[in-house]
Amino acid sequence: MEEREILIEDLPEDQKEIAELIGIDNYIKLSQHFGGINNFYIRKYSEISRRARNREIRSKYTGYNAKALARMYRLSEQTIYQICKLSK
């Protein structure tokens, strides 16, 4: 397949904002990898941030510091226990 220079102006209107946000080169990579897949889904930032927070909590959990972690992350102790229980 012949390589062509693709510009943001070549994209459909509903795709230009994505390319402007991540850059045309990254847009092209996404297109080459996921192009044509109708159910392509990008998770909300809040969800991936929560997963990262939970990973941090699990790495800091000693079995005896749920109260301190709850204060640190502004969560209930019960939530700390649930997060750490899910990793087992």
Instruction: Say which residues have a Cβ less than 8 Å from residue 21's Cβ, sequence separation at least 6.
Output: none
pLDDT band at 81 (very low <50, low <70, confident <90, very high): very high
In this structure, are 38 and 56 located in the same domain?
Answer: no
Please provide the average confidence, as pLDDT, over all residues in the chain: 91
pLDDT band at 39 (very low <50, low <70, confident <90, very high): confident
Share of the chain above pLDDT 70, in %: 95
The confidence score (pLDDT) of residue 11 equals: 93
Whole-model pTM: value is 0.70
The number of distinct structural domains making up the chain is: 2
Q: Are 5 and 14 in contact (CB under 8 A)?
A: no
In this structure, are 30 and 12 located in the same domain?
Answer: yes
The confidence score (pLDDT) of residue 40 equals: 78
In this structure, are 17 and 37 located in the same domain?
Answer: yes
The confidence score (pLDDT) of residue 88 equals: 54
Residue 35 lies in domain? 1-42
